Chain A
Amino acid sequence: DQQVKQNSPSLSVQEGRISILNCDYTNSMFDYFLWYKKYPAEGPTFLISISSIKDKNEDGRFTVFLNKSAKHLSLHIVPSQPGDSAVYFCAASSGTYKYIFGTGTRLKVLA
Chain B
Amino acid sequence: GAGVSQSPRYKVAKRGQDVALRCDPISGHVSLFWYQQALGQGPEFLTYFQNEAQLDKSGLPSDRFFAERPEGSVSTLKIQRTQQEDSAVYLCASSLESGESSYNSPLHFGNGTRLTVT
Contacts and interface: CB of A to CB of B under 8 A. Distances in A.
Q: Do A and B actually bind?
A: yes
Interface of A: 4, 6, 32, 34, 36, 41-46, 49, 51, 89, 91, 93, 95-104
B70 interface: no
Nearest to A31: B103
Contacts of B112: 43
B34 interface: no
Contact of A43 (B4, B42, B99, B106): B4
Of the four ranges (under 10, 10 to 19, 20 to 34, 35 or more), the interface on chain B belongs to 20 to 34
Contacts, number: 55
B107 A46 contact: yes
Contacts of B103: 32, 49, 51
Contact of B110 (A32, A43, A89, A100): A43
Given A43-B93, A93-B102, 13 more contacts: A4-B42, A32-B103, A34-B106, A43-B110, A44-B43, A45-B109, A49-B103, A49-B106, A51-B103, A97-B48, A98-B48, A99-B107, A102-B42
Interface in B7-31: 31
A46 B110 contact: no
B63 interface: no
